[in-house]
Chain A
Amino acid sequence: MRKIFGYIIGLATMLSVFAMIYVVAAIYDTGNKSIIEPFFFRTGLNAFIQTDMPRSLGEMGERKMRDWLIQKYVTEYFYVVPDAENVARRTNGNTAIISRMSAPNVARQWERGELIQIREMASNGVMRRVRVFNEIFKPAGSDYWHVDYELKTWYKPNDMDTAPVITRGTMYIKIQESGKVGQLYSNLEGVQKALLAGIDPAVVFMFRVLSVQFDGK
């Protein structure tokens, strides 16, 4: 009887030691709790060769992220390079950025309008760059973000004497505001896998354009 009693006491002591390990570990872990932001952004022109520290998504904030995604969208909407492969990539699968960032009707609108023009320009050796200028804003009571853009178009290749033609316009973009703009679409592992597979980094963040209207283009 005494032996059994001793055995139970010993077992209880062992179990309580294990419990203590768990409690101590939890306390220790809480004390060192840190959240690791897995995505960093380097921004600005020539960010590849700049020596500034990358900033995380948390530091950038939702507003900055939304502005960047809108800029990305507007650029994708208009830019032209004289490369047939590029046009093909922009309409197929994972690299079709406009389709991935827009509601189906907006993607169709782009394919039936701007894309036809882009295809024709690319085959004629035209290059077009896009720049978003001024602040991106949404007036009170409106659902649309105002985005001022500038298109710089080189109509003739291999001509170093002719300056590019610059035109400006305003695009009105309605985006889905219910989800958090700029959050990741899927879990981290899936995103990392997709990024390593070569997906454009912009499409892993929540952003969906519901409607696009123009003025002045």
Chain B
Amino acid sequence: MVYPDDFDTSAFPAGKRIAVSRTMGVWIAIAFMIIIGLCIAFPWLRAQQTVDPFVIYVDSERGDWQLVGRPLGEKSATYYQSIQRALVGIFTERWFTITGDPTKNEEMWKRCNREMDCAHHVPSTFANIDGCDIYCIAGENMYQKFVTDVLPQYQEYESLGERWFMHPNKITVFPTGTPTQRGGTWVARGRVRSSVNGDFDIVAYVTVAYDVARYPQTLGYYIAEFNAYKE
């Protein structure tokens, strides 16, 4: 039976009216139930707010303001950023290494033949000094600066028995801008352990450039500029 239409019978004329009013009653009751539900849910839903705070880090000493915890731009590091970062880390570590073995130091600092000696020199690890370590990943001008400005000092430290060591895991490398496929500028920070003067912190501004013909072993990247300071 279809309710309330089938109650429209001649035997009981009031049947349909009663049935209609009952149907309405049921629907009104349902509507009120929904309204009561909304009464409960509506204010509660309105009170919901998504907290989306921005944390700004203010270094009041250095006047450096940065947004914290938000990925800016590309989330994942590109291959060229990874290579540049690794190169900067390795170069910084090598730059601040003076071993107790003069032969090893000589090997590390010497000028080599770029085609012959560097082609297979992949600076993929911090572990070993393979020889030509500085030369193979430095630009010609950079290496020349090293030889004229830095090497005499290092040889003097070496002759006085001073050794320098930099823990690779403690070196942090950050880009100063946005490194591109053609290179970029990076900041390396770390702590050098000296056998004579104790520990000292350094900061280095490192410019990475690109020349795939001369530096195929590092996919073209090399250190074009290295300026380090004792903090």
Distance in Å from the Cβ of B98 to the closest Cβ of chain A? 11
The stretch among A66-74, A109-117, A173-181 that forms the contact with chain B is A66-74
Q: For the complex, what is the distance from the CA of A14 to the CA of B67, rounded to whole Å?
A: 51
List the A residue with the shortest CB-CB distance to B228: A158
Chain A residues within 8 Å of B31, by CB: 14
Q: Is B61 an interface residue (CB 8 A)?
A: yes
Is B43 in contact with A29, judged by CB distance below 8 angstroms? yes
The interface size of chain A toward B, counting residues with CB under 8 Å, comes to 60
Is A201 in contact with B65, judged by CB distance below 8 angstroms? yes
Is B55 in contact with A42, judged by CB distance below 8 angstroms? yes
List the A residue with the shortest CB-CB distance to B187: A81
Q: For the complex, what is the distance from the CA of A32 to the CA of B60, rounded to whole Å?
A: 36
Is B53 in contact with A45, judged by CB distance below 8 angstroms? no
Mark each residue of chain B from 132 to 163: 1 if its CB lies under 8 Å from any CB of chain A, else 0: 00000000000001100110010000000000
- Interface SS of chain B: helix, strand, loop or mixed? mixed
6 closest Cβ pairs, A-B complex: A75-B63, A28-B43, A157-B227, A25-B43, A82-B227, A202-B65
Q: Can you list 30 A-B pairs with a CB-CB distance of less than 8 A?
A: A20-B39, A21-B39, A25-B42, A25-B43, A25-B46, A28-B46, A28-B47, A29-B43, A34-B49, A38-B53, A39-B54, A40-B56, A41-B57, A42-B55, A42-B58, A42-B68, A47-B58, A67-B60, A68-B58, A68-B60, A71-B60, A81-B176, A82-B227, A132-B63, A158-B150, A160-B153, A160-B202, A195-B54, A198-B73, A201-B65
Q: Name B's A-contacting residues (CB within 8 A).
A: 28, 31-32, 35, 38-39, 42-44, 46-47, 49, 51-68, 70, 72-73, 145-146, 149-150, 153, 176-177, 184-185, 200, 202-203, 205, 207, 225-230
Q: Name A's B-contacting residues (CB within 8 A).
A: 10, 14, 17-18, 20-21, 24-25, 28-29, 32, 34, 36-45, 47-48, 54, 67-68, 71-76, 79, 81-83, 85-86, 89, 125, 127, 129-132, 154, 157-161, 164, 192, 195-196, 198, 200-202
Apart from A28-B46, A29-B43, A47-B58, list 20 A-B contacts with CB within 8 A: A14-B31, A24-B43, A28-B47, A29-B46, A37-B53, A40-B55, A40-B56, A48-B68, A73-B63, A83-B176, A86-B176, A127-B227, A154-B229, A154-B230, A159-B149, A161-B153, A192-B54, A195-B67, A196-B72, A201-B65
